């Protein structure tokens, strides 16, 4: 069927006191014409923000460990696989290497992993400064 009128969104609002409000509105909670009981978007609790911060920090720590281990331990099979990927994605960067067994290529890969680990450490430091 064809509907008349303005398109709207169905909102289910769950309040801290346990009450639930359902309404249809063409505007969001931050809009002056919002019809809901409370205006504005929900603000996450301190406990929730800390939980999300801890989750994000744990993910970054795991990434750092992965990159640091990759810089230290590469199998010949992994180097062949990385060579194949680099050959298609970064041919200009690896044109001076003779292949996956070139010691310079191994050093190049190690440096890429060290750089990636440092980038993640920088993100972790930023996250640490913004701890809730």
Q: Give the model's confidence band at 1: pLDDT under 50 very low, under 70 low, under 90 confident, else very high.
A: low
Q: Considering the entire predicted model, what is its pTM?
A: 0.73
Task: List, for residues 13-34, the tens digit of each pLDDT value.
Answer: 998 899 999 999 999 999 999 9
Task: List, for residues 53-93, the tens digit of each pLDDT value.
Answer: 999 999 999 999 999 999 999 999 999 999 999 999 999 99
Q: What crossing angle do the helices spanning 76-89 and 103-129 adopt, rounded to 10°? A: 80
CA distance linking residue 25 with residue 98, whole number of Å? 64
pLDDT of residue 114: 98
State mean pLDDT over 86-113. Answer: 96
pLDDT of residue 16: 85
Domains of the chain by residue range: 46-129
- A 10 A CB-CB count for 67 gives 20
């Amino acid at each position: 069927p064809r509907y008349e009128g303005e398109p709207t969104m169905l909102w289910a609002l769950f309040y801290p006191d346990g009450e639930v409000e359902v309404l249809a509105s063409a505007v969001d909670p931050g809009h002056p014409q919002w019809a809901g009981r409370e205006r504005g978007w929900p603000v996450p609790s301190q406990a929730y923000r800390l939980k999300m911060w801890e989750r994000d920090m744990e993910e970054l720590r795991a990434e750092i460990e992965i990159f640091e281990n990759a810089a230290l331990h590469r199998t010949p099979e992994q180097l062949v696989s990385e060579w194949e990927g680099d050959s298609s994605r970064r041919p200009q960067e690896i044109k001076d290497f003779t292949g996956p067994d070139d010691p310079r290529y191994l050093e190049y890969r190690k440096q890429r992993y060290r750089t990636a680990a440092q980038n993640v450490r920088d993100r972790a430091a930023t996250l640490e400064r913004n701890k809730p």
